[in-house]
Amino acid sequence: MDVAGKKAVIFGGTSGIGLAAARQLVALGARVIAISRNPDSTVDLPAGITLKRCDVLDRDAVQSVLKECAPYDILVSAATGGARAVGPFLEMDMDGYKGSFDKLWGYANVVRYGAEHLPDDGAIVLVSGAPARKTRPGQVAIGSVGGAVEALVRAITRELAPKRINVVSPGVIDTPMVALEGEERNAFYAKTTAGNIIPRAGTADEVAQAILFVIQNDFVTGTTVDVDGGWLLS
């Protein structure tokens, strides 16, 4: 796919990985509609990005905004859906564990109601996470949800064809999701990536490059692309 002149809709497109993907698409000549539950109008956005408000868990709102945006060529969701539980499963608040799957329901809403507005050569990309296939202590909820996202994509790839759908799976990425600052932030990332083959946090731009790859490469569908600094092998 040559993205120049194409229209992309990105849920979670106003911060972190989604925003990085939006900026890269615009730089290549695409038009982008960046959707967020609470879009920050103070973010410095390049020309070519339009902001819209929508909660991915509100099915009626998702249907409405996608109809409003249609037609489009590219559909990306990097929206987290909300908070995710952490810690040992046998000590976990089960409402917190259940709530972690809001990410899956949000993705399901986006794909269910968004695919119909894509052309046959359109592309969908979802974002999971390295714990989906290598879960470290305290990541049961995150790993479960990521695994469900990847299973969903594999299960529906044939149904969607010839439209394509893929997953990008980041490892530890330096994004605004981590609220720590200064030395505390640096220490957190140093600790969480110490065992990686590449012992540092990735950047949102590095993940966005993988999103662009699965959008542009017409021979890739139903797969997961890892951008994890060697997480799976560490």
Give pLDDT tens digits for 97-107. Answer: 999 999 999 99
137-177 confidence digits (pLDDT tens): 999 999 999 999 999 999 999 999 999 999 999 999 988 77
**pLDDT of 41:** 64
String of DSSP letters for 58-112: -HHHHHHHHHHH-S-SEEEE----S----S-GGG--HHHHHHHTHHHHHHHHHHH
> Is residue 181 predicted with pLDDT exceeding 80?
no
Question: Is position 115 within any domain?
Answer: yes
87-125 confidence digits (pLDDT tens): 999 999 999 999 999 999 999 999 999 999 999 999 999
14-67 confidence digits (pLDDT tens): 989 999 999 999 999 999 999 999 876 667 788 899 999 999 999 999 999 999
Q: How many domains does the chain have?
A: 1
User: What domain range includes position 185?
Assistant: 7-225
> What is the distance between the alpha carbons of residues 160 and 11, in angstroms, rounded to a whole number?
19
Residue 156 and residue 165 in contact, taking contact as beta carbons nearer than 8 Å: yes
Question: Is position 232 within any domain?
Answer: no
> What is the distance between the alpha carbons of residues 4 and 21, in angstroms, rounded to a whole number?
14
Of 160-164, 182-186, 195-199, where does mean pLDDT reach its minimum?
182-186
Q: Per DSSP, what are the bridge partners of residue 8?
A: 32, 74
Question: Is position 234 within any domain?
Answer: no
Question: Is position 164 within any domain?
Answer: yes
Question: Is position 93 within any domain?
Answer: yes
> Is residue 195 predicted with pLDDT exceeding 90?
no
Question: Is position 116 within any domain?
Answer: yes
- 155 is written with which tokens? 């299960």
Question: Is position 141 within any domain?
Answer: yes
Question: Is position 231 within any domain?
Answer: no
Report the CATH number at residue 23.
Answer: 3.40.50.720
String of DSSP letters for the chain: ---TT-EEEEETTTSHHHHHHHHHHHHTT-EEEEEESS--TTS---TTEEEEE--TT-HHHHHHHHHHH-S-SEEEE----S----S-GGG--HHHHHHHTHHHHHHHHHHHHHGGGS-TT-EEEEE--GGGTSPPTT-HHHHHHHHHHHHHHHHHHHHHTTSEEEEEEE-SEESTTS---HHHHHHHHHHHTTTSSS-S-EEHHHHHHHHHHHHH-TT--S-EEEESTTGGG-
Which phi and psi angles does 29 have, rounded to 5°? Answer: 100, 10
pLDDT mean over 175-196: 81
CA 58 to chain centre: 18
